[in-house]
Structure formats: C-alpha cells, structure tokens
C-alpha cells in the first residue's frame, strides 16, 4: 500500500512550517493579478498616446487609419477576434475593442476584471488597501459612468485607469509583506512590463519602414515620440540624451537603459533577482533550462550593442526576447504553481482498498 | 429623528415599553436619536454602505450570471441588551451547548439516551445527518460542536426562546465584527458613552479553539490550521476570507489539499506541507467524495480516512447535524434534563412533531394557523407560514406532510419582538418597528465562551418575519452593556 502512495508523491514534502509557506494556487493568483494590472496600464497608455498622436494628422483615409491602428492592435490583442466584431480598424473601433470588449481577453476591462477576480481568490493574502483599490476600479468599470467618461474624454478615462494601476503598485510596495508572494507579484509585473516594452518598440517596426524621404521628417519624429510616451519614457529619454529623438537612440534607450525602470534591461534584472530569491540559488546559478536561457539573454544584453541588434534585425531580436519571456512564464507555472490533478478514479480505488484493510 | 407617531402596535418592542417610555438600557441611544437629523443619518448610512461595497463586504446573489454582489443591508440603529439579561442568555447558551455535546458523544457511543427511551430511537437512527460511519469514534478532546450559532427570538412578553441551533457551519460572525467596526465609525461618541462589551476577541478565541483541538499525536507545538472554503462563488466567501485573514491562517479549497498515507497536505510552492486542523465551511456530504457524495468536487479524497486515523482534526466534527435536526430540536429540553439534571434556562418554542399521530392530526387541521418547517433546511427555505400562505401552498405542504411526516415540524407563529429600524424613503423615510432575532456565537475549546452580543438580524420588509439575508433581511450591531442602563 505504501509503495503505491509514495510513488504518487510528485514533489518532496517541505519541512518548512513557517509563515512563508504559500499555496500554489495563491502564487498563481498573485502572479496573474499583478500581470493583468500591469497589462491594463500599458494598454491604457498605448491607446491614450496614439489617440493624441492621431490629432496631428487630419484627412487620413481608411487605409492609412488601418495602417496606423493595425500594428497597435497586433501588439495588444487578437486580430482575428477583432475582425469578427468589426469591419474596419480605425480609432473608434480599435480603442473600443481594446478598452471595453469583454470578448477580447486582453481588453482593459477584461484585464481588470480578471485581476480583481484573482485578488478575490487571495483576499486573505493581500492588504485591505490593495483589495479596495482594485475593487473600486472594478466597481467604476461596472458602472455606466465608465463609458460616459470614456466617450466625453478618453484621455481622462485612460488617466484614471493608469492611476488605479499606479496606486495599486504603490500600495503593494508599502503594504504588502515581503514574503514569497511579493516575488510572484514582482515576477508578474516585470515579466509583463518587459513583454509590453518589446511590443511597443515593435510597433514602429510595423509602421516603420517609411519611404526614405520620411526618415527624420516630422511624421517620423512624431511617431518615435509616441513610442517613447507609450512606454512612459519621453521625459527620461530627453533628460538622458538632451538631443533630438533619433530612432537608434530610442531603441537603445528602451532596450539597454540601466536606470529607466521600464527598459527591457531593467525589467530583466528585476526578474533575475526575483527568480534567485525564489529558488534560493546563488547569483548566476540557474534552476532549469528555461531559467538558463533567460540568464543567457540577460548576459547577452550586457555585451550586445544597439548596432549589432539593428544589423541582425530589431524585430528578430524583440521576438527572441518575447519567446524567452514566454518560456520563463511557463517555467514559473510548472515549477511553482502546477500540481498534477488528482486522478479521482484511481484515488477512489486506492482509498477503498485502504478502507477495507482497516 | 424619532417621531412621535412611532407605534409598538401590540408587539414587544426592544426599545419602548407598552406605554411608550424608553427602556432604561436605551436611554443613551434615545438621546442620540433626538439630536440626530435625518440628513445626517442619511449621510452616515450612505458612508457605511459605500465602505462595505468598496471593501467587498458582500454576498454573491445566486442564480445570477452577472455575478452580482450585494451588501448585507446594515441598519445603523444598534440593538441593546442590558448586562443582567445577557448573563442569563449566556448561561442558557452554555448549558445548551454542553448538553448537546454530551448528547452527540452519547449517540455516537453507547446511545444511553435511546436505551432509556428519552428519545424514540428511530428519530435519531433515521435522521438525515446521523453518520453511522462514526459510531464509536472518539473526536479530539471529546468536542463535537466547536462553533455554534443559536437563533434566539423574543415572544410578546419579551421572553427569550431558542428558535434553532446551528451546529454544522453557522455563518454570520464576520458581519457581527464588521457591523461593530462600521458602527464605531458612524457613532464614535455614542459608542464610547454607552460602555459596550467589545466583540473583537472572537477571531482570537476561534483560533485558540482550533489550535486546542489539534491531533494530540502532533510533534510540533504549532499546529497548521487552515480554513476550507467551497470557493469564491459561495455566498459566504467573504466571511471565509475575512475570518482567515483575522486569524492569519491560510484559506484553502479542496483542490489545494491532497491526502497521502492518511495525512492531509496542502500544495504549496515548496511542495507538500502537512495540515493539522481544518476549520471546514463545507458540509459533511461534500467533504470526501470517496466516502460521502461521490460527485463532490469541493472536498478532498481521503480526508475522512485521515480524520479517522486521528491525523487531522475537523471543526465542527462530522455528524453534528443530527443534533440540529428540527425534530431533535423538539427533544433538546429533555436532553438538557437527561444529561445535566437541570431545567433549561432558555426554553424552546412549543413544537409539534408531524410524525406523532396526535400532533400530525392537529397540524393538518390547523395548517393555516401554523408555521411548518422542514427538518433539515436552513436559510428560511422549506417553510410554510400558514397565516400568510396561499391555499395552493397549504395543500402542497399537506401532501408533503402526509407523505413524509418525519421531515416536518410545526410551531405557532411567534410574534418576534420588534426594533426601531430606519425605513428608506419609499417606505416613508423614518423609523418604524421591524421584527428582529438574535444569533449569538458560542465557541467550545478549552472552555466555552460566548461573544457578548452576536448578530441581530432584522426583517426589513414591513410585517415580514423572515430575517434571512437571502430573503430581504438586514442586520444590526448588537450591544451588550457594561451594566443595565
């Protein structure tokens, strides 16, 4: 009997009996709560910036509008679902799809509803202040008021969404205990943020490739400026470079900056620290192949230059980062959150046998 | 705010005497009310409601795919109980839980009470919640009922009567605590001057009870206590999360637990961690699909085996439901006399058993005058309120009683006491009398403690006697004074 049962233990039994023990389900909820909030903030900023950018262009035809919005749609959502719901991609449809459509699992409303649902699952783990903020946000989005605010002034609406996220992340820093849960919240936040920064940068790859005459022109500059603002990086960039907005410098800044907290480099360094804190391994020691390829990418970043990246293709580089982050996400799930489900039938069989032996 | 035309209307009113005078223990409240203007009251009420909504002090409305959450309506006017009165209630509740616990031990062991013919054996052996699987099983520290919520009502003379014992998973304690916090915010001065017994110790007491009943074989002095919830879609999920947070224990779902070699573990980020005590908020039937309902997805396969092996403790114990069966309720005064040789301090409501021939004939002849209850339902379901029921409802119940008399009891309608309650503007926007009951919470560990006060539930609809939250009920903060006025 005991042979049977021991063989079904998938993981070593922990000897830890301190308060640091964390349910796998709880870890999963904290991680996704955090990812969804970060995601909603990024989408809000992306839409806000691009709506404002469009104000500088008048008389765009349908094709031009589509050319502008489609890459944004691709970076933040699901194109296929979109065209099931709408005929054409313009400011109105794309922003509505990415803001209010519950059919779109990555719309702001879907993200924040999921974040709140995850928070509710771990109501006992997070601080009252954190829950209240998220709950207020949920009640706001559920009310009719939300759409009215959006229709009368989209900017105010997106400001509000960003504020909820800022407030939530700030409260997490000031009210959440520094335990394992904090690492999962951080992993969710930085993984999402790194991923979104790659996508924001990639947008320019899609709308980029302008005719030669446009490079360095007013349109080009405006677009690069929008990229920076979408990553909340315009002021930081200006302070750092104090010169014109140059495509190469923008890409360099968003990939390599050591000091700007939304650059890919900064996010990955945070991820590296949190991964090590979780696994308890020494620095530069990694727990699995996924962690190792993540570590490899991080050290690549330490030695690569922007010229090398541009020469071998910015888009390809960004795709590689995204793939590595996806693997890491899967690794975190497998390592910390997944327990194989109980096979109820064999379980019943086993336990019925045990009952008879008594 | 209190108007001259407030009427007690032939009911026992908690605040006013028949002559219209304010009872001594309500003096402070009455003074406050005199000074309070309706606008200020409205502002305070709105602030409290908003705070509940924001912090998620809500219950989920069933059969609503929007996942609508509502707050449990809270009436700002506190219900006040003088010290001497409370001491009698407390004694009565302790007496009752002591006797019921002895009763449960007896019927799962020697069944002396059945052999002595105090209760006809078929009532117990055929009870829906009698768990014959646990005959001869010794529960830790011999405690069956760790947490009990007893429903009390007051008759026309103001006598406290026991309406119901809730011995399985009584709920509502979180509202008692949240209501108190809200009232302190709304009326800080009144609260301070009234000298009220605090209720905050409930969570700490509950934690102590749970730790106390940990399996004795345990190597460590710090048992791992968890709260087992059906999940986030349960109407009481807020309460589960609230209590877990207050006690600082993990809240788990069935899928978070796994049994290996008759030991319960929780699945954590660092592997499997042993669990010693489970405060379960799911019914016996759902605990373990290998023993009880095989279709239960909420429980843990193997849990009962681990419990029987003495490796994990459950609160409340399995099989307590037999003692809050409404037919067994009828026998509780006899149970108290049998085990304690005392007269019951808190009497029952006079009850008729449909399975006794004489009683049944009386019930069937008087259905339109009686309240009929199913033996094993809760939450105000499965009830017939004769005087208010339609002919159709009455004849449905008549058929059901004839078909299955064991499942029904009947009582004369009790005109529950009333309490001044704020009625919203569509009902006049003023204080009117509304019927109330009282659910105190009793904890049984190293000793028995009763939290002073409890949850006062109020039927907000005019004339209604049903106080359940699922059916238009609200609640009040309940004050036990440090003195009698």
* B15 falls within a domain: no
Each residue of B280-298: pLDDT tens digit? 999 998 999 888 888 888 8
pLDDT confidence of residue A135: 94
The residue ranking higher by pLDDT, B216 or B279, is: B279
B261 contacts A25? CB cut-off 8 A: no
Say how many CB pairs under 8 Å bridge A and B. 111
Indicate whether A8 pLDDT > 60.
no
CATH number for the domain spanning B363: value is 3.30.1490.270
Q: Which residues have a Cβ under 8 Å from the Cβ of B409 and sit 6 or more positions away?
A: B326, B327, B329, B330, B351, B352, B353, B354, B372, B373, B375
- % residues pLDDT > 70 (chain A): 86
Using a CB-CB distance cutoff of 8 angstroms, which residues of chain B are in contact with residue A23?
250, 252, 256, 266-269
pLDDT confidence of residue B67: 62
Please report the beta strands in B72-173, taking only residues with DSSP state E, as ranges in sequence order. Answer: 74-81, 147-154, 160-166
pLDDT confidence of residue A60: 79
| Chain A residues 96-115 with a CB less than 8 Å from chain B | none
Question: What residues make up the domain containing B397?
Answer: 351-411
Indicate whether B50 pLDDT > 50.
yes
Q: Across all residues in chain A, what is the average pLDDT?
A: 85
Q: Using the Cα atoms of residue A24, residue A25, residue A29 and residue A30 in order, give the sign of their dihedral.
A: negative
From B232, B248, B267, residue closest to A121, measured CB to CB: B232
Q: Strand pairing partners for B455?
A: B439
Q: What does the block give as tokens for B264? A: 């319960």
A336 contacts B269? CB cut-off 8 A: yes
Distance between B404 CA and the closest CA of chain A, angstroms: 34
* B394 falls within a domain: yes
Q: Which one of A58-72, A191-205, B30-44, B339-353 scores highest in mean pLDDT? A: B339-353
Please report the beta strands in B24-132, taking only residues with DSSP state E, as ranges in sequence order. Answer: 58-60, 69-71, 74-81
Indicate whether A227 pLDDT > 60.
yes
Q: Binning pLDDT at 50, 70 and 90, where does residue B252 land?
A: very high
Using a CB-CB distance cutoff of 8 angstroms, which residues of chain A are in contact with residue B301?
342, 344, 347-348, 351
Report how far apart, in Å, the C-alpha atoms of B49 and of each of A113, B178, B338 are.
Answer: 22, 12, 48
pLDDT confidence of residue B206: 97
Closest Cα in chain B to A116: B56
**B117 SS3 class:** coil
The structure's pTM equals: 0.86
Distance between A321 CA and the closest CA of chain B, angstroms: 26
Instruction: Quote the CA–CA distance of A38 and A191 in Å, as a whole number.
Output: 9
Distance between B259 CA and the closest CA of chain A, angstroms: 9
pLDDT confidence of residue B113: 96
B216-220, B264-268, B479-483: least confidently modelled range: B216-220
Q: Across all residues in chain B, what is the average pLDDT?
A: 90
How would you label B345-367 residue by residue, b for 16+ Cβ within 10 Å and e otherwise? bbebbebbbbbeeebbeebbeeb
Indicate whether A342 pLDDT > 80.
no
* B87 falls within a domain: no
Each residue of B370-406: pLDDT tens digit? 999 988 776 667 788 888 889 999 999 999 999 988 8
ipTM of the prediction: 0.78
A121 contacts B290? CB cut-off 8 A: no
Instruction: Quote the CA–CA distance of B413 and B386 in Å, as a whole number.
Output: 8
Indicate whether A215 pLDDT > 70.
no
How would you label A336-346 residue by residue, b for 16+ Cβ within 10 Å and e otherwise? bbebeebeeee
| Chain B residues 36-55 with a CB less than 8 Å from chain A | 53-55
Q: Binning pLDDT at 50, 70 and 90, where does residue B424 land?
A: confident
B211 in contact with A, Cβ within 8 Å: no
Average pLDDT of span A151-155 = 90
Using a CB-CB distance cutoff of 8 angstroms, which residues of chain B are in contact with residue A9?
260, 272
User: Pick from A127, A325, A26: which is nearest to B269 by CA?
Assistant: A26
How many alpha carbons fall within 13 Å on the CB side of residue A97?
A: 25
Distance between A185 CA and the closest CA of chain B, angstroms: 14
Instruction: Quote the CA–CA distance of A245 and A240 in Å, as a whole number.
Output: 11
Q: Which residues have a Cβ under 8 Å from the Cβ of B365 and sit 6 or more positions away?
A: none
- % residues pLDDT > 90 (chain B): 67
Instruction: Quote the CA–CA distance of A264 and A272 in Å, as a whole number.
Output: 12
**Overall number of domains in chain B:** 1
pLDDT confidence of residue A6: 36
* B369 falls within a domain: yes
Instruction: Quote the CA–CA distance of B304 and B241 in Å, as a whole number.
Output: 24
Each residue of B406-422: pLDDT tens digit? 889 999 888 899 999 98
Each residue of A241-267: pLDDT tens digit? 877 888 889 999 999 999 999 999 999
A305 in contact with B, Cβ within 8 Å: no
Test mutation, A1, A7, A11, A23, chain B, max B CBs within 10 A: A23
Test mutation, A5, A15, A123, chain B, max B CBs within 10 A: A123
Instruction: Quote the CA–CA distance of B88 and B275 in Å, as a whole number.
Output: 39
């Amino acid at each position: 009997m005991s042979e049977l049962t021991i063989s079904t233990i998938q993981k070593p039994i922990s000897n830890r009996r301190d308060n640091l023990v964390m349910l796998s389900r709880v870890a999963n909820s904290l991680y996704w709560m955090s990812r969804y909030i970060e995601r909603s903030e990024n989408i809000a900023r992306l839409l806000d910036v691009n709506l404002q950018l469009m104000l500088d262009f008048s008389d765009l035809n349908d094709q031009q509008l589509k050319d502008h919005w489609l890459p944004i749609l691709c970076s933040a959502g699901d194109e296929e679902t979109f065209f099931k719901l709408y005929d054409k991609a313009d400011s109105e449809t794309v922003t509505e799809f990415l803001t209010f459509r519950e059919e779109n699992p990555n719309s702001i409303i879907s993200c924040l509803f999921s974040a709140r649902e995850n928070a509710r699952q771990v109501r006992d783990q997070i601080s009252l202040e954190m829950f209240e903020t998220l709950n207020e946000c949920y009640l706001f989005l559920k009310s009719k008021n939300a759409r009215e605010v959006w229709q009368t002034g989209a900017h105010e609406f997106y400001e509000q969404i960003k504020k909820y996220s800022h407030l939530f992340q700030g409260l997490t820093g000031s009210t959440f205990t520094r335990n394992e849960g904090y690492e999962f919240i951080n992993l969710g936040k930085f993984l999402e943020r790194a991923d979104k920064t790659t996508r924001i940068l990639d947008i320019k790859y899609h709308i980029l490739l302008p005719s030669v005459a446009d490079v360095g022109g007013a349109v080009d500059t405006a677009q690069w400026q929008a990229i920076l603002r979408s990553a909340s990086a315009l002021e930081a960039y200006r302070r750092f470079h104090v010169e014109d907005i140059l495509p190469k410098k923008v890409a360099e800044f968003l990939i390599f900056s050591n000091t700007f907290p939304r650059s890919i480099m900064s996010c990955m360094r945070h991820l590296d620290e949190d991964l090590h804190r979780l696994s308890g391994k020494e620095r530069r020691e990694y727990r699995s192949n996924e962690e190792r390829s993540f570590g490899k990418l991080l050290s690549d970043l330490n030695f690569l230059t922007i010229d090398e990246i541009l020469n071998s293709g910015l888009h390809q580089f960004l795709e590689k980062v995204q793939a590595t982050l996806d693997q890491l996400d899967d690794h975190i799930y497998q390592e910390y959150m997944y327990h194989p489900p109980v096979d109820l039938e064999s379980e019943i069989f086993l336990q019925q046998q045990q009952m008879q032996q008594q | 705010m209190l108007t001259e035309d407030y009427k007690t209307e032939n009911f026992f009113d908690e605040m006013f005497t028949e002559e219209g005078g304010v009872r001594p223990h309500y003096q402070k409240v009455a003074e406050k009310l005199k000074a309070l203007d309706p606008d200020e009251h409205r502002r305070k009420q709105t602030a409290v409601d908003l705070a509940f909504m924001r912090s998620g002090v809500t219950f989920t409305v069933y059969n609503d795919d929007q996942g609508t959450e509502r707050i449990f309506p809270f009436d700002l006017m506190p219900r006040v109980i003088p010290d001497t009165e409370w001491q009698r209630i407390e004694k009565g509740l302790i007496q009752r839980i002591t006797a019921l616990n002895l009763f449960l031990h007896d019927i799962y062991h020697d069944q002396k009470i059945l052999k002595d013919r105090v209760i006809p054996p078929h009532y117990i052996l055929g009870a829906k919640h009698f768990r014959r699987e646990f005959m001869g099983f010794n529960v830790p520290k011999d405690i069956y009922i760790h947490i009990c919520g007893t429903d009390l009502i007051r008759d026309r003379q103001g006598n406290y009567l026991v309406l119901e014992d809730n011995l399985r998973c009584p709920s509502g304690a979180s509202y008692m605590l949240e209501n108190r916090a809200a009232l302190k915010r709304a009326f800080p001065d009144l609260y301070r001057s009234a000298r009220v017994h605090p209720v905050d110790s409930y969570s700490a007491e509950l934690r102590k009870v749970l730790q106390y009943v940990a399996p004795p074989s345990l190597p460590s002095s710090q048992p791992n206590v968890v709260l087992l919830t059906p999940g986030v879609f349960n109407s009481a999920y807020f309460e589960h999360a609230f209590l877990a947070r207050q006690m600082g224990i993990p809240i788990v779902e069935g899928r978070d637990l796994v049994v290996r070699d008759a030991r319960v573990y929780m699945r954590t980020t660092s592997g499997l961690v042993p669990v010693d005590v489970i405060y379960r908020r799911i019914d016996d039937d759902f605990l373990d699909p290998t023993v009880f309902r095989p279709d239960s997805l909420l429980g843990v396969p193997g849990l009962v085996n681990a419990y029987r092996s003495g490796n994990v403790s459950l609160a409340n114990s399995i099989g307590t439901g037999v003692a809050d069966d409404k037919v067994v309720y009828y026998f509780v005064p006899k149970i108290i006399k049998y085990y304690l040789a005392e007269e019951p301090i808190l009497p029952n409501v006079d009850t008729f058993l449909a399975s006794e021939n004489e009683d049944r004939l009386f019930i069937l002849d008087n259905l339109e005058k009686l309240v009929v209850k199913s033996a094993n339902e809760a939450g105000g379901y499965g009830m017939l309120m004769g005087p208010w029921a339609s002919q159709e409802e009455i004849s449905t119940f008549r058929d059901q009683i004839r078909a299955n008399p064991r499942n029904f009891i009947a009582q004369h309608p009790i005109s529950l006491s009333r309490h001044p309650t704020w009625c919203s503007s569509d009902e006049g926007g003023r204080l009117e009398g509304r019927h109330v009951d009282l659910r105190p919470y009793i904890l049984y560990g190293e000793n028995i403690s009763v939290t002073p006060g409890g949850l006062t539930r109020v039927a907000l609809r005019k004339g209604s006697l049903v106080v359940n939250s699922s059916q238009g009920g609200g609640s009040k903060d309940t004050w036990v004074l440090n003195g009698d006025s």
